[in-house]
Amino acid sequence: MPHTVTNPPNVNQSQSLWYVAPERAEIRSEDLIPLPSGNVRVRALFGALSRGTESLVYRGLVPESEYSRMAAPSMRGSFPFPVQYGYANVGQIEDGPADWIGLKVFALKPHQTRYQASMDDVVVLPDGVTAERAVLAANMETALNAVWDAAPGPGDRIAVVGGGVVGCLVAYLCGHLPGASVTLVDINPERAAIANQLGVAFALPESAPLNCDSVFHCSASAAGLATAIAAAGDEASVLELSWYGAGLVQAPLGGAFHSRQIRLQSSQVGHIATSHRPRWTHRRRLEAALQLLTDTRLDALLSPAIHFADLPNRLPDLLGARSDALCCLIRYP
């Protein structure tokens, strides 16, 4: 039987996913520079697609007015194309200070097999957080910031409209408030099983609760926004987490919207919520998000892993309107 020789991976080379034209992506290779002092080199283990944001990047729908604000922390290229995008990368340190080698870390890095970064730009995974579940850190950070923005309290009636990853994480966090009644609202009845796993109630839009004290909207649809506004009680707030890119959304601001004095507020993870801004840094918030991922129930949000090399061919399905995947997990070689 012939002996097959497998060449070891080149630790000085990285492959990364680039969005190069509307609905077209490719994998590019590059050589890494010698590791600078104070940096670490990380071999990626798992990553995740952000279906909401990356579907807009993939289709070239980031509005020109938002090019600067929408740039990910380690993005390369420029909008609309070509651009190396993404912000969920979990890996293992393979070069750097001796006491760092072997540690598993999270970084707001694009989809790439290896990267080099300042030690200040990676966060070591806490005990009890697996490499797979850690890819949820950026989404958990968004959810945490949203809960700070809305400030729901114990005993509140809370509705979360839109059962994507961020919506599920918001519902999960609110579900820990003592005495709170939390309902995840989605058009997909299969999300009921996820809600049950996370310890919250579930409803289809036509059965969404009314007179809520806090409402979060995460569906990125006009119908979802209408459901969220209808669910809000008098003088309650609807926190808008959806981002529509260059698209327009019809908001139902007629009827009783004004007489009931409903507030519509935006929330965006690029800014630390006003209530926490004087004391919290972005790094402290990211570290807190990772600490919140120790619960094994959150594994229910992870879809079966896609191999990194298959991404360009799988993106039309993963980012398509018919996809019902939650967190699209990426497995690196």
The 10s digit of each residue's pLDDT in 126-154 is 999 999 999 999 999 999 999 999 999 99
**7 located within any domain:** no
Q: CA nearest 91: which of 116, 71, 74, 73? A: 116
What pLDDT, on the 0 to 100 scale, is given for residue 6? 44
Checking if the pLDDT of 7 tops 60, the result is no
* Same domain, residue pair 90 and 145: no
66/126 same-domain check: yes
The band of 3, judged by pLDDT with boundaries at 50, 70 and 90, is very low
- Residues 6 or more apart whose CB falls under 8 angstroms from that of 112 comprise 14, 15, 16, 17, 44, 84, 89
Only one residue has tokens 């729908």, namely 61
User: 331 forms bridges with which residues in the sheet?
Assistant: 46, 307
pLDDT above 90 covers what percent of the chain?
A: 88
Would residue 165 count as lying in a domain? yes
Alpha-carbon torsion (241, 244, 245, 246), positive or negative? negative
Is 281 inside a domain boundary?
no
As a whole number, mean pLDDT of residues 171-179 equals 98
Per-residue model confidence as pLDDT tens digits over 280-326: 999 999 999 999 999 999 999 999 999 999 999 999 999 987 788 89
- pLDDT band of residue 266 (cuts 50, 70, 90) is very high
- How do residues 76-89 score in pLDDT, each as one tens digit? 999 999 999 999 99
Residues 6+ positions from 129 with CB-CB distance below 8 Å: 290, 291, 293, 294
Tokens 């283990």 found at: 45
In a domain, 288, yes or no: no
**Single-letter code of the amino acid located at 200:** V
What is the domain-level CATH number for residue 143?
Answer: 3.40.50.720
User: Do residues 256 and 310 share a domain?
Assistant: no
Can you say whether the dihedral through the CA atoms of 154, 160, 166, 169 is positive or negative?
A: positive
Question: Does one domain contain both 105 and 222?
Answer: no
Domain count, the chain: 2
Q: What is the pLDDT of residues 8-19, one digit of tens each?
A: 567 889 999 999
Cβ-in-10-Å burial (0-12, 13-18, 19+) of 102 comes to exposed
Q: How far apart, in whole angstroms, are the C-alpha atoms of residue 129 and residue 65?
A: 37
Q: Is position 72 within any domain?
A: yes
When the pLDDT of each residue in the chain is averaged and rounded to a whole number, the result is 94
Which pLDDT does position 246 carry in this prediction?
78
Stated pTM of the model = 0.94
Do 235 and 259 lie in one domain? The reply is: yes
Expressed as residue numbers, the domain containing 208 is 139-266
| CA-based torsion, 139, 140, 145, 149: positive or negative | positive
- Asked if residue 64 is part of any domain, the answer here is yes
36 located within any domain? yes
Same domain assignment for residues 119 and 184: no
Q: Is the pLDDT of residue 90 over 90?
A: yes
Residues 153 and 92 in one domain: no
30 within domain boundaries: yes
Residue 177 has pLDDT above 60, yes or no: yes
Tell me, yes or no, whether 225 and 116 share the same domain: no
How far apart, in Å, are the Cα atoms of 55 and each of 37, 237, 318, 327?
A: 36, 28, 9, 13
pLDDT of residue 9: 60
- Report the pLDDT averaged over residues 68-81: 92
> Distance between CA atoms of 86 and 110, rounded to whole angstroms?
4
Residue 1 has pLDDT above 70, yes or no: no
Q: Are residues 74 and 180 in the same domain?
A: no
110, 20: one domain: yes
On whether both 121 and 150 belong to a single domain, the answer is no
Q: How far apart are the first and last CA of the chain?
A: 26
- For the segment 202-218, the average pLDDT, to the nearest whole number, is 98
Are 162 and 101 within one domain? Answer: no
CATH of the domain at 103: 3.90.180.10
